[in-house]
Chain A
Amino acid sequence: MELSGSHVIPVETGSKTLKDAINEAFRDWITNVETTHYLIGSTMGPHPYPIMVKHFQSVIGNEARKQILEKEGKLPDAVIACVGGGSNAMGVFSGFIEDKDVELIGVEGGGDGIETERTGATLCKGTEGILHGSLSFVLQDDNGQISEAHSVSAGLDYPGVGPEHAHLKITGRANYVAVTNQEALRGFELLSKYEGIIPALESAHAVAYAEKYSKVIENSEKTIIINLSGRGDKDMFLVAKEMGVEV
């Protein structure tokens, strides 16, 4: 980002994760609203940001639908994407929402496991709440105080989720699952080893779930699209550390 000419300011407040970066971006925006426009990289925040980001990300879904029809001559049986705030998932899902036979699966950062406190699986574990200007699912305590999320991947380390994903969950159009940090690291390894593609740790969650999904007998013949939302270059040091490799 700095190479592209932006000025990057690390967040020093709260849990120093994505949620706090959003808080600080809001604070900066309301201070400098006359000269600054707020941008967010995910389908969350106050209206109309979730819709705007979905619209921009929809190129992924439109393109994926076109390409699979060309290559396979049919629609996929399932589309699998990781969900933090939910932008890449919303982007790829948006191409297939009207295709009712296409299963949409969002994979959340399970962290140490959704049965533990250290998780980022907002849709799997959270409850209805209001964070960053929208009503959706959030990880929170009984008093409505927002909990800290945990995931090995920074992009999934968020205690909220885009409101349209909450809608897809409640209406049953999409299913949301979680994979743990360990499973995601396996996904990372698998794709790197067999395809020579190093996925972002976020996307590695989708890869890990795709492996689990395809091992279920009735899914073995299915055509699946896995959305690879990012490259893993950024995660190399973290993955090395997690795997106990010295670099």
Chain B
Amino acid sequence: MKSHQRYTAEEKNVVQGYSEMFLDVKNRGEGAFIPFTVAGDPDFETSLKIVQQYVDSGADALEIGFPFSDPVADGPSVQAADIRSLNSGMTTERCFEFIDRIRKFTSIPIGILVYYNLIYKIGLEEFYRKARKSGINGILAADLPPEESNDAVYMAKKYKINQIFMVAQTTSNQRINEVVKRCSGFLYVVAVMGVTGARSDIKKSTVDLIKRVKNHTKLPLVVGFGISKPEHVSDVIKSGADGAIVASAIIDIITDKLDDMDVAKDEIGSFCRELKHSTK
């Protein structure tokens, strides 16, 4: 069987870890720019081209959503992307193939955002094994509370994957301590109260949260939810975050330009370059 196995990215030893990436970025005096997309939105091949565009336009890491029928943490942009992706025939299996394909053109860290039923259905060990094989660095299960995460954290360690957790403004200091015990790779700091989606400005409360969380952990802090403009990115980086995830604002370009994905790709490229520039 071994002779038929393709080289995974890991065996080629080209996958960059989160700690390595954050260190590199820090040494350059920048923050990490991490664009998000839903795997297979609007279809497998187009989605792959969009990810390629992210990489070519300065992404330091990637955050890839596995589409789910009931994404309760997501606002309208990501919901619509999930539906487009599922309608195009994406399954969990195809999502792993998608990551596999991304690994053919980049070694930057790849995190996935997933809802726990997708993991549960395949089986925890099988999911983490496949994740590792396809070259995934981090798994964030949006609806998995830390109290229920022991099995997932165990599997993550076993398969050398970073289990990533979220903290928000409503997270108490005590709970932050519980979360960071289980978290590795980076800590996802939720910038706004609510679901994913583009917002008009970064509130002082987000800045305060970044500062508060820094007292509890040395993990890199990545801010997401509502980060939709270059100013937002520079604001959170200046406030001490190590990176920013941009999702809905980019997905909105896909949604607007479904008829002409070439134009969308160009627009995404220039938007990403602008976002990356604002991490400096």
A residues bordering B, Cβ < 8 Å? Answer: 13-14, 19-20, 23, 26-27, 30-34, 46, 128-133, 135, 138, 140, 142-146
Contacts and interface: CB of A to CB of B under 8 A. Distances in A.
Interface residues of B, number: 26
Contacts of A23: 70-72
B86 A130 contact: no
Given A145-B68, A146-B117, 13 more contacts: A13-B76, A20-B70, A23-B70, A23-B72, A26-B72, A27-B75, A27-B194, A31-B195, A33-B193, A130-B120, A130-B143, A132-B70, A143-B91
7 contacts: A19-B70, A27-B72, A30-B193, A46-B145, A143-B92, A143-B118, A144-B121
Interface string B169-204: 010000000000000000000000111000000000
B37 interface: no
Contact of B117 (A19, A26, A33, A130): A130
B120 A129 contact: yes
Contact of B70 (A14, A31, A34, A135): A14
A13 B79 contact: yes
Given A27-B75, A130-B116, A146 B69 contact: yes
A144 B70 contact: no
Contacts of A129: 117, 120-121
Interface string B217-257: 00000000000000000000000000000000000000000
B123 to A, nearest CB: 11
B193 A133 contact: no
Nearest to B114: A144
Interface of B: 68-73, 75-76, 79, 86, 91-93, 115-118, 120-122, 143, 145, 170, 193-195
Nearest to A15: B69
A101 to B, nearest CB: 36
Contact of A34 (B91, B116, B170): B170
Contacts of A34: 170, 193
A240 B215 CA distance: 64
A30 to B, nearest CB: 6
Enumerate the 10 nearest inter-chain pairs by beta-carbon distance, A residue then B residue, closest first: A144-B121, A31-B194, A130-B117, A145-B69, A146-B69, A144-B117, A143-B91, A26-B72, A144-B118, A27-B195
A144 B69 CA distance: 9
A32 B193 contact: yes
A140 B76 CA distance: 22
A26 B165 CA distance: 19
B92 A144 contact: yes
Contacts of B143: 130, 133
A39 to B, nearest CB: 16
A21 to B, nearest CB: 12
